[in-house]
Structure 1
Amino acid sequence: MKEFIINNNDSGQRIDKFISKAMPELPKSMMYRLIRKKDIKLNGKRCDISDRLSEGDVVRVYVKDEVAAEKQHDLSFRSASRELDIVYEDDNILIADKPVGLDSHSNATSSSDTLINRIKLYLCEKGEYNPQEESSFAPALCSRLDRNTSGLVTAAKNAAALREINSAVKNGQLHKIYHCITVSAPPSQEDILTAYHRKDEGRNIVRISDEPKEGFREIKTGYRVLAERSRLYLIEVTLYTGRTHQIRAHLAHIGAPLLGDGKYGDPSANKRRGVFRQALCAYSLIFDLPEDSPMSYLNGLKVTSGTPEFEKRFFAERNDK
C-alpha cells in the first residue's frame, strides 16, 4: 500500500493525473482498474477518476510493494551551472534572461545544464524546492525558447502559479515582445500579419500559408521597424499567437528573414555578416491577467531583458542614445 498526503502543490488535480505523476511506474490501465475495484481510496472512501484533490486529503493506493516502489526523483539539476540571470522574482514566479546556447529543457542531445535545471538548483539551494517533499510537482517553465534564442522565460515556483500563467499564455494575457534583426526590409514599417502555420514534426520545420489549409493553424504576428543600418533592420515583434518558430518562419515568408537563421534565413547574408545564430531575443513581457486572478498583482508589470548582443553589435549607435 502507498499513501500520499496531499500538499498545496498537489491540490486542484484530478486524482488520476496525480497518481500518474506520483507513481510513474504504475501502468495507467492498472490504475484505472484499481479505481474501478475500489483499491484506490480518497480519505478512506471510494473515488472516481474525475475527483479533484484538496490540501490535506489522504490518497491510498492498495497495490503490491514492488509496484508501489518509491518514486525516483530526477536530481540531475544538481549538476547544473549556478549561472542564472534573474530579472524578476516573487513567491510565485521567477523570470530569467536565458543566454544564447542554453537549452530550455533537456533533450536527447543536451546535458543536464539547462535553464529549468539551473532554476531548480537555485530554488533548491534557496530552500524553496525540495524534490523529496513533492509527489507530483516540480518548478516548471511556462514557455520555452529555442537554444539559440535569448531572452525572458517565466518559471512557476508552485502548481497554482503554473496553472495561472499557463492560462494567461493560452488566453493572450501575457504579452510577449521580441527584438530581432532582418536582412531585408519588411513590406511596411509596421503591420499586424495573419497567416497559417503547420509544423513538419519529422523535419522540425514549419510551413506558412497566406490562405487557410487543412492541418494549418492560424497565426498572428505584429511587427514594427525600430531602426535601419547598413541594410539591416532592427524589428520589434509582438506575438499574438505562439507557434513553433513563428517569428522566424513568418518574417521569412514575407521576405524579411532573420539574420543568422540557418533554417529559414539567407545563407549568403549570414555568411557575409559572420552570424550563424538567429538574431532573436524575447525582449519584454507585460502581464494583463483578469482582475479576479490571484496573480493580478502582476498587472502593469513590464519586465525587460538586457540589450541582446546582436543589437549591440549592429546597432551600437542606437544603444548609446
Structure 2
Amino acid sequence: MLSEFGLIARYFQQPGLASAGPWSPQLGIGDDCAVMSVPDGRQLAVSMDTLVADVHFPAEAAPELIGYRALAVTVSDLAAIGAEPAWFTLGLTLPEANPEWLFGFAQGLQQLAQKVGISLVGGDTTRGPLTITLQVHGLVKTDNWLSRQCAKPGDDIWVTGTLGDAAAWLPYLQQGLVESPTDEYLKTLWRHYYQPEPRVAAAQQLVALGCQCAIDISDGLLADLGHILTMSQVGALLDLSSLPASNALRQVLPELETRQQVMLTGGDDYEICFTAPPHMAKDIIETLSPSCPVTRIGQINQVPGVATTSGQPITDIKGGYQHFS
C-alpha cells in the first residue's frame, strides 16, 4: 500500500510538474511549507477552486482530462485579471490510491502546467469522495491588472474565442458519452469542455494595451457580464448577431435562437469578456488576433441591465450555478 508521502513523491514531486514554469520556489513540494519570492515591482494574485466529481466533472472521465481541466479552469481566474501564472497547490481527496488513475491525473496536470508555466509547490491528500481543490498564485505588475469594477459607459464589450461549445457538449455528457467522439463537430465540443484554453497570454496583452476591465466566462456570458455590470454600476447593449460561434456549434445547433441561448447562458467557456474604450479597437484586434480570436459584441451604457442593440431587454440573466440553492 502506497503511503501519502510515497504517493506525493511518485506522482507529483516530478520536475515537469514541480518546476514547470520560470518562477521556481525556493522551497517546493515535499516540505511542510513552500517558500516563494515575489519579485520587486510585482504583486501576488491568488484564487482557489474546488471541483467535486459528478458535479464539476464526470467521475468516469479519463484521469488525464480531469487533471487538465481542473487546473485549466482554475488558471482561468488568473487570466481574468491579467496575471502571469507562477505556483499552485493541490488538495486531492481520493476514494482509493489507484496508481493508474494517479499517473493519468498527474500527466493531465503536467500538460497544462507546462503550457502556462505554473509549478506545483505543495498540497494535501486524503481519503474520501473524489474532490479536487486547487489554489493558484500569479504575479501582476504593481497596481496594474484587470478588474470587474472598471467598465465605463461608452466602452466596447469584447469576448475572446467562441462561445457555447462546452455547454453544447453537456447534453451528450448527460447521455453518458464520456469518450472522445469520432464526429468532427462533436469532438470540437468535447475538446472545449475537457480542454479549455485559459487566455493567459491574451489577458496580459490587454493589460499591456491599457485595458482595465475583464472577467472569465465560467457561468455563461450573461451571468459573468452581469458581474461586471453590478460591480461597475453600469448596463450593456449586446449585438446578438455578433456573438462568435464555432463552425461546430453552427452545425450541431443550426437553429439561431437555440444557438444564441446556449451562447448567452451556457457555462464552461473560460474565454475572457472585457471592455475597452472604442479608440482602442484597432490596437486590440491587431495585437490579439494573430493568436487569439477576438470579437466586439456590444457596448457599455448607463442604463441598468442588459438589452439588445435594438432596445429589447434581455431578462434571463442567470446568476451562475448556485451550490446551496
| Same-fold status (TM-score > 0.5) | no
Q: Which has the higher helix share?
A: 2
Q: Which has the higher strand share?
A: 1
Q: What TM-score, normalized by structure 1, do the two folds share? A: 0.24
